[in-house]
Amino acid sequence: GENVEQHPSTLSVQEGDSAVIKCTYSDSASNYFPWYKQELGKGPQLIIDIRSNVGEKKDQRIAVTLNKTAKHFSLHITETQPEDSAVYFCAASSPRDDKIIFGKGTRLHILP
């Protein structure tokens, strides 16, 4: 089945700087890649997703890139703000089993 690796596990960036979180996946058939943000005491919330027919997608300060050949995808947050502090999960879904498999998460700290 699909396996998703996520790095780093913890990331600290200065407010205003950019943050990048990287993920790799194992199933070459995977074609849907959502990213979730989980704040303390809350459930994960979808923030952006990408399908394998595009290489990049952007929504304001958040962007996701996908490299199908290398089987990796990344989340980019620009001009980070204190409210960006949270745990971020990448995930992948393959049409083989139609399940979403999550990475282990990245705890992002925005430093004042």
Partner 1 sequence: EAGVAQSPRYKIIEKRQSVAFWCNPISGHATLYWYQQILGQGPKLLIQFQNNGVVDDSQLPKDRFSAERLKGVDSTLKIQPAKLEDSAVYLCASSILYSQKISGNTIYFGEGSWLTVV
Among 12, 55, 104, 111, binds partner 1 (CB under 8 A): 104
Instruction: Report which of 33, 6, 38, 34 is spatially closest to residue 20, judged by C-alpha positions.
Output: 6
Q: Which of 21, 93, 108, 110 binds partner 1 (CB under 8 A)?
A: 93
Question: Quick one: which of 97, 57, 96, 94 has its CA closest to 73?
Answer: 57
Pick the closer one to partner 1 by CB: 32 or 65.
32
Between 79 and 97, whose beta carbon lies closer to partner 1? Answer: 97
Closest CA to 19 of 104, 81, 90, 80: 80
Instruction: State the binding string over 18-57 for partner 1 (x if CB under 8 A, else -).
Output: --------------x---x----xxxxxx----x------
DSSP 8-state assignment for residue 27: -
Rounded CA separation 32/49 (Å): 7
Contacts to partner 1 by CB under 8 A? 4, 6, 32, 36, 41-46, 51, 89, 91, 93, 95, 98-100, 102-105
